[in-house]
Amino acid sequence: MHATVARTASGPNLRQKLAARGFDAVTLLVLPAAIFSLCLFVYPFAFGLILSFEPKNGGWLANYQRFFADAYLYDTIYKTLALAIPVTLLNLVLAVPVAFRVRLMRHQRLLTTILVLPITLGTVLVAEGLLNYLGPQGWFNRTLMTLGIISQPLRLVHNYWGVFASLVITGFPFTFLLTLSYVTGIDPALEQAGATLGASAWQRFRHIYLPLLMPGFAITFCLSFVQAFSVFPSAVLLGEPAGPTRVISIAAYQAAFEEYDYSMASAVAMIMGFVQLAIVIAVLASRGLFYRGPATGAKG
Amino acid sequence: MAIALSQFNEVRLDRVSRDFGALNALREINLTIQRGEFIALLGPSGCGKSTTLNCIAGLLPVTGGAIWLDKSRVDTLKPEERGFGMVFQNYALFPHLNVRQNIGFGLKMRGTPKAEMERKIDEALNLVRLQGQGHKLPGQLSGGQQQRVAIARAIVIEPPLVLMDEPLSNLDAKLRLEMRAEIRRIHNELGATTIYVTHDQDEALSLADRIVVLRDGLVRQVGTPKELYEAPEHLDVADFMGFRNKLKGKLVASSNGRAIVDVEGARISGRTRETIPDGSTAYVAIRPDDLVIGEPGGNALAVSVDTAEYRGREFVGTAHTKGGLELVFRSFQAVEPGTAVHLVAGEDNTLVFSEPV
């Protein structure tokens, strides 16, 4: 590797110049990652993009025209958003108070481990568990019926709420961990200063923590949202894949493996990516409204 | 000056204790502070001085005793209900708010009308000499300026008590001296009551009306800077007041507040406040300033010089005796390491203490 650099760089002068700009032999360590992302991300993306403009029938835009003309297809965008956005917001709203509490705890690691378990279990196992637990003959309904609170089992799976519950369970740990790292990154002396200045607990959150955490919340929202938006297994297992939980990834799956129309599937994937990107850009751009410097007390 | 601090007569700490599990960080601290006083809490790290301050501020609950502001008990109140102004060691300025918003934070929390708030912020900015810097964010200010903002923010809420936790420890030496004078000026101009935590004896001596020396969670001595400097009551307080030489020996004789101690065969005499039995172990405490090269004889120790550091007007040397006692002394001329000299202790400033318990 080093020899290549020496040959291409004509003499030590150029090498020194490059080094001054931050390019030296160490820069080559970027190569594996660059190759990796080129092969596994850039190439398939470009391939899919081109493929989506080569439909089975019709002009080069035919796939997109078909998607936006057919309610059965374009409705998947709303259905996915109707799941992903409330789930992400709920996770964030739940994660903040928990993170604020955990921040002060001594056995933080134990609790963090417990909370992270659902991530390692994977969505399919969680979906299966929920089917047993929340199903018509599941413990949840049986307990409520035994206690006489309900007479008929509640319908909690094979609909919107089944998918919703599974997305909250699998998404929460991720959202929580990110939130916790942002919350603990704020100098506790700032809150103490707020308290000595007469701010109540709510005012300290509202005027000190919230403004400093907003940029972090935006990133957390984006990452959690992207995860929830690409929901597939739980939408099939716990939802109504033909009805209210026919999310966009199901549409792509059907195009690819039921109609064997890879071109159409690519187009759906592109639309899915575009919607995600649009939301992420909008959220990240809003960070500009907030303070984004270091969140510790400025040092002397 | 329109910033008028709340009126009261005294703050009283009544047997205040604070335990962290099995550790007694504060053990029954008793202290009464009069309005207008500048009190320094002085001690080595871990002595409980910051804990005391945090207990007064309400950032740490006390585990025993009570804190009184005149007739009202404050240790049961939340920090936001006490209304004491606090200056933090790292300033704890809100990084997302500009200087004016930082200073106005406490006023805003109190729902102060806008016009009055602006006027008070202006006055506070004038007081700390930061006119024209109001729109800047804390990150754009130098350390000294941030310090001024932190002080302005604490005093603008007109607190009965201003608490400062090692406020100068993050500044460089020159700025520290400047800000020290500023803090005293602001204290005087406002007629504030200030409790100031520091581990720096110079700071405590130059700023405070009274100094409280703490060690292991206990009050060791309370007194004016002059009292502490000239007549420390314990060996550890003396150590903190610059008596760097502590020589162990045997008491030979004592009378009328004077004692003679045998240190490795040399007779050293000094003042004492204690009655120490003849023949028992005693410590002689001498400041480096009061230990100079001289003639053999009374109050002199034979030593061999180890180092001599140039300090401008003088040299500060280290030396050891035959018996291995380490000494720090002052010299007006250069001395070569290895030279054998006699160090003479000034009688009036030499103190004799009994063995610490």
- Residue that finishes a domain, picked among B184, B210, B235: B235
Q: In angstroms, rounded to a whole number, what is the distance separating the alpha carbons of residues B213 and B205? A: 11
Average pLDDT over residues A11-34: 83
B196 with B345, same domain: the answer is: no
Q: Which of B80, B83, B93 sits opposite A297 (nearest CB)?
A: B93
Q: In angstroms, rounded to a whole number, what is the distance separating the alpha carbons of residues A94 and A259? A: 41
B29 with B116, same domain: the answer is: yes
pLDDT at A57: 85
> Would B188 be classed as within a structural domain?
yes
B227 with B300, same domain: the answer is: no
pLDDT at A127: 87
B204 with B171, same domain: the answer is: yes
Q: Contacts of residue B146 in chain A, CB cutoff 8 Å?
A: 298, 300
**Which sequence spans correspond to the domains of chain A?**
53-289
Average pLDDT over residues A62-91: 93
> Would B1 be classed as within a structural domain?
no
Is some CB atom of chain A closer than 8 A to the CB atom of B298? Answer: no
Q: In angstroms, rounded to a whole number, what is the distance separating the alpha carbons of residues A164 and A75? A: 18
pLDDT at A121: 79
Q: CA of A289: which chain B residue's CA is closest?
A: B96
Q: Which of A193, A207, A208 sits opposite B88 (nearest CB)?
A: A193
pLDDT at A263: 93
Q: CA of A290: which chain B residue's CA is closest?
A: B96
φ/ψ of B202, rounded to 5, equals: -60, -45
> Would B285 be classed as within a structural domain?
yes
- A 174-233 residues inside an 8 A Cβ radius of B: 187, 189-190, 192-200, 203, 207-208, 211-212
pLDDT at B2: 59
Is some CB atom of chain B closer than 8 A to the CB atom of A120? Answer: no
B52 with B136, same domain: the answer is: yes
- For testing the chain B interface, which of A104, A192, A196 should be mutated: the one with the most B CBs within 10 Å? A196
B47 with B159, same domain: the answer is: yes
Q: In angstroms, rounded to a whole number, what is the distance separating the alpha carbons of residues B210 and B161? A: 15
pLDDT at A297: 47
Torsion sign over Cα A273, A277, A278, A283: positive
Q: CA of A190: which chain B residue's CA is closest?
A: B92
**Averaged pLDDT score across all residues of chain A:** 87
Q: Which of A192, A199, A291 sits opposite B92 (nearest CB)?
A: A192
What is the 3-class SS of chain B, one letter each residue? CCCCCCCCCEEEEEEEEEEECCEEEEEEEEEEEECCCEEEEECCCCCCHHHHHHHHHCCCCCCEEEEEECCEECCCCCHHHHCCEEECCCCCCCCCCCHHHHHHHHHHHCCCCHHHHHHHHHHHHHHCCCCCCCCCCHHHCCHHHHHHHHHHHHHCCCCCCEEEECCCCCCCHHHHHHHHHHHHHHHHHHCCCEEEEECCHHHHHHHCCEEEEEECCEEEEEECHHHHHHCCCCHHHHHHCCCCEEEEEEEEEEECCEEEEEECCEEEEEECCCCCCCCCEEEEEECHHHEEEECCCCCEEEEEEEEEEECCCCEEEEEEECCCCEEEEEECCCCCCCCEEEEEECCCCCEEEECCC
Q: In angstroms, rounded to a whole number, what is the distance separating the alpha carbons of residues A156 and A143? A: 14
Q: CA of B152: which chain A residue's CA is closest?
A: A197
pLDDT at A3 over 60: no
What percentage of chain A carries pLDDT values higher than 90?
Answer: 52
Average pLDDT over residues A173-185: 91
Is A190–B92 a contact, with Cβ atoms under 8 angstroms apart?
A: yes
Is A294–B95 a contact, with Cβ atoms under 8 angstroms apart?
A: yes
> Would B5 be classed as within a structural domain?
no
Q: In angstroms, rounded to a whole number, what is the distance separating the alpha carbons of residues A227 and A241? A: 18
Q: Which of B83, B86, B95 sits opposite A291 (nearest CB)?
A: B95
Q: Contacts of residue A199 in chain B, CB cutoff 8 Å?
A: 80, 105-106, 109
Q: In angstroms, rounded to a whole number, what is the distance separating the alpha carbons of residues B219 and B27? A: 8
What percentage of chain A carries pLDDT values higher than 70?
Answer: 94
Q: Which of A198, A293, A300 sits opposite B83 (nearest CB)?
A: A198
> Would B139 be classed as within a structural domain?
yes
- Residue that finishes a domain, picked among B235, B270, B304: B235
Is some CB atom of chain A closer than 8 A to the CB atom of B214? Answer: no
**Computed over its alpha carbons, how large is the radius of gyration of chain B?**
24
Is B90–A195 a contact, with Cβ atoms under 8 angstroms apart?
A: no
pLDDT at A50: 93
Number of domains observed in the structure of chain B: 2
Is A196–B91 a contact, with Cβ atoms under 8 angstroms apart?
A: no
* Alpha helix ranges (H) inside A103-154: 108-121, 123-134, 139-146
Tokens of B292: 């100079």
Residue numbers of chain B with a pLDDT score lower than 70:
1-3
Q: Which of A198, A199, A299 sits opposite B170 (nearest CB)?
A: A299
CATH code for the domain of B198:
3.40.50.300
- Residue that finishes a domain, picked among B235, B263, B292: B235
pLDDT tens for each residue of B85-128: 999 999 999 999 999 999 999 999 999 999 999 999 999 999 88
Is some CB atom of chain B closer than 8 A to the CB atom of A289? Answer: no
B70 with B200, same domain: the answer is: yes
pLDDT at B73: 93
pLDDT band for position A7 (cuts 50, 70, 90)? low
pLDDT at A295: 66
Is some CB atom of chain B closer than 8 A to the CB atom of A298? Answer: yes
Is some CB atom of chain A closer than 8 A to the CB atom of B79? Answer: yes
pLDDT band for position A287 (cuts 50, 70, 90)? confident
> Would B114 be classed as within a structural domain?
yes
CATH of domain A53-289: 1.10.3720.10
B162 with B264, same domain: the answer is: no
Is some CB atom of chain A closer than 8 A to the CB atom of B77? Answer: no
CATH code for the domain of B250:
2.40.50.140
Q: In angstroms, rounded to a whole number, what is the distance separating the alpha carbons of residues B347 and B326? A: 20
Q: Which of B58, B80, B82 sits opposite A199 (nearest CB)?
A: B80
Which residue range is the domain that position B89 belongs to?
A: 10-235
B227 with B346, same domain: the answer is: no
φ/ψ of B265, rounded to 5, equals: 90, -20
pLDDT at A300 over 50: no
For residue B7, count other CB atoms closer than 10 A to its CB. 9
The reply to whether the predicted model has a pTM over 0.90 is: no
Is some CB atom of chain B closer than 8 A to the CB atom of A106? Answer: no
Q: In angstroms, rounded to a whole number, what is the distance separating the alpha carbons of residues A292 and B1? A: 37
B165 with B274, same domain: the answer is: no
Q: In angstroms, rounded to a whole number, what is the distance separating the alpha carbons of residues A49 and A54? A: 9
Is A187–B153 a contact, with Cβ atoms under 8 angstroms apart?
A: no
Is some CB atom of chain A closer than 8 A to the CB atom of B266? Answer: no
The better pLDDT of the pair A102, A209 is held by A209
Tokens of B2: 């329109």
- Distance from the Cα of A215 to chain B's closest Cα (Å) equals 12
Instruction: Find the angle CA(B93)-CA(B191)-CA(B224) to the nearest 5 degrees.
Output: 100
B226 with B253, same domain: the answer is: no
Q: Produce one character per residue of A22-58: b if its CB has 16 or more CB atoms within 10 Å, e if not.
A: eeeeeeeeeeeeeeeeeeeeeeeeeebeebbbebeee
ipTM of this complex prediction, to 2 decimal places = 0.84
Average pLDDT over residues A84-110: 90
| Strand pairing report for B210-215 and B38-42 | parallel
